[in-house]
Structure 1
Amino acid sequence: MSLKVGIIGFGKMGRIRSETLAARGAQIVRVFDIHYPDVVPYPKAPSWQDIVQDDAIDAVVISMPNRFNMAIATAALKAGKHVLCEKPPCFNAAEMEQIIEVEKRCDKVLMYGFNHRHHQSVIKLKELVSSQRFGRILWMRGRYGKSVDKSYLSTWRADPAMAGGGILIDQGIHMLDLFQYIAECEFDEVHAMVSNMYWKMPGIEDNVFALLRNSRSGLSVSFHSTMTQWRHLFSLEVFLERGYIVLNGLKTSSNSYGEEELTWAKNRSVAPAATWEDEERMVFSTDSSWDSEAEMFLRSVLDGAPVEYGSSLQALQVMRLIDTIYEVDRHQSTTVYDDLLTIES
């Protein structure tokens, strides 16, 4: 069976999705975008609603500005379509719970583009953790940052009504998802600081610092998400009882994060417990994550395989964490301000 697909949003991500799905036998029936690129090799639809209501289409891919993700995904599910949607799924956890209720009633595949789980370096890192060769995880540290210029201010990502937030919900969401994937737990203790000191865009944060902990296991996480990282950076460190695993770099089309270099070492019996010479290394020079994601979606739709990466439950878990980070920062800021007023009076 050839899956018949409609693409809603034919920008960079929509084109990547169409190419990877078509390469695996899917038929791209129609596409829709507000602003089309110069070359569109598929029939154009007059609106996203036309794609959702098209009986000839089995599944839709949603690559639109964040604001539209929830409305289009739920409409597509209700119309009997399978859905592959980019992140974030919506603006908060309450909205995600509403989407899940629709998903349950419609019994269609719903998958979200948490693409970083599909990187070969991340898969290898997870295998090393799961092997228990290094014992249980003690702590993790994640830094994910990029640099933007003034042109960013004129895009929909700089509009809180369209984006729902700044660097946290745009890029940091991937790192938070990886924390929960690797640790196989949620984080119920959160301290956070959210700021927009440089770009000063109301409702669009350019930096987030957070400390996370799972109260049951004690596993702690240090997290920094930023758009004032002048040299793009991806770094994920996992320290365990008997060793460590570190991933630096992330293979992308722009190569701005460098190649993915995974290093690991087991503890020695004397301090320091590991040295540079003890490390094993693997370098991943190609990005096969988009292909892997397309294959998973097709397996789920055509063969009934579970959505292993990017399920609605995983999306809900990460949206709960994002909600908490934003709320903790607002509460802390308000508390400090109220305390100052009390002192002054």
Structure 2
Amino acid sequence: MIKAGIIGYGKMGRIRAEALKQSGRAEVTEVYDVHANASDVTFVASAEQLIQSNDIDAVFVCTPNHLICPLIISSLNARKHVFAEKPPGLNAEEVRSIRAVEVASGRVLMYGFNHRHHESIKRMKEIVDSGELGRILWMRGRYGKEVDESFFKGWRADPKLAGGGIMLDQGIHMLDLMLHLGGGFDEVHAVVSNLFWKIEGIEDNVFAILKSNESGICASLHSTMTQWRYLFSLEVFLEKGSLIINGLKTSSNAYGEEKLSIKRNASDGHFTSEEHNVFHVDTSWNSEIEHFLGCVETGSEVMYGSSTDALKLMQLMDRIYEASA
């Protein structure tokens, strides 16, 4: 049984605790949060006390963005395995510093990019990798939500604590999926705006155009918090058809049903009828935790959410912000 400690017991910390409980392979033995407001866990006095505890095998970092890097480094130095929420750091430089400590520690480090574990994404990735629809030509991703003033209460309204706005908060998931499906990108063009909320350093919209010089794949991404509705849409167009995901299964159901549409080109150049797959259950949180626990137990390589993935992602994130400056 793996003994886990959680730093940050807000929404994400509680989600991770429940997934650990359901796994049957781990138990949460200690928790640290500035607000010790739950009776179902044992709270300790500080994050450092938890990290240094002999009763902890793995530390879950579920904190505001600016704390992620130092807490990961402290945990790895204490010879603990680490699962950390996104973003992997505030920028690529932070991820590089983490990677150096990770290598020296010999411990497992995994980042929480649960979108890769949604059933629609797993099926999409399977079809892309099979080659049955040929190579990817282009992708288009839209991910957005509506927020009000309450969204900016606390750390999310402070660029020193948040590190950025909607792109670092939500758009990072879409960018990660594009890297997951299509590989890296070389050319980056972007526009960033905070036309509505007007908070310096906290963008409310990002429009990015990406291209890979090696594969020729082009991609467009729009991340927004001024859409006034919840929307997730990822479209992948290939030589022999298309794969389109609309909606994302979440606990709130705000993004609607999660549906993957598969369209295969007919030999005469016309499209055949579409195949629609609807996924009614969100298994992403449990799937992600199972992957992490398996890596801890067996010492196997992290396949989804590794520091290698994280560095590639944050390098591209940095370039998007720089291109819009």
Unaligned runs of 5+ in 2: none
Distance 2:143 2:152 in 1: 20
Runs of 4+ in 1 over 4 A off after TM superposition: none
After TM superposition, list the pairs within 5 Å mapping 1:1-345 onto structure 2.
2-24=1-23, 25-37=25-37, 39-183=38-182, 185-270=183-268, 273-274=270-271, 278-330=273-325
Q: What amino acid sits opposite 1:65 in the alignment?
A: P
Distance 1:188 1:98 in 2: 23
Distance 1:305 1:254 in 2: 34
Larger Rg: 1
Q: What amino acid sits opposite 1:316 in the alignment?
A: L
Q: What amino acid sits opposite 1:300 in the alignment?
A: C
Cα distance, 1:306 vs structure 2: 1.5
- Whether the aligned pair in 1 keeps the contact of 2:36 and 2:43 (CA below 8 Å) is no
Deviation sequence 1:156-197 (CA, Å, 0-9, x none): 1111011000000110000000001011x2111011000000
- Whether the aligned pair in 2 keeps the contact of 1:5 and 1:28 (CA below 8 Å) is yes
Distance 2:324 2:39 in 1: 44
Distance 2:60 2:3 in 1: 11
Cα distance, 1:270 vs structure 2: 4.5
Distance 2:126 2:268 in 1: 27
Instruction: Name the TM-score, length of structure 1 as normaliser.
Output: 0.92
Q: Secondary structure at the match of 2:66?
A: helix
Cα distance, 1:308 vs structure 2: 1.0
User: How many correspondences in the alignment?
Assistant: 324
Distance 2:280 2:319 in 1: 36
Distance 1:237 1:12 in 2: 29
Q: Secondary structure at the match of 2:4?
A: strand
Q: Secondary structure at the match of 2:281?
A: coil
1:342 aligns to what? none
Cα distance, 1:82 vs structure 2: 0.2
> Identity, % of aligned pairs?
54
Q: What amino acid sits opposite 2:271 in the alignment?
A: A
RMSD: 1.0
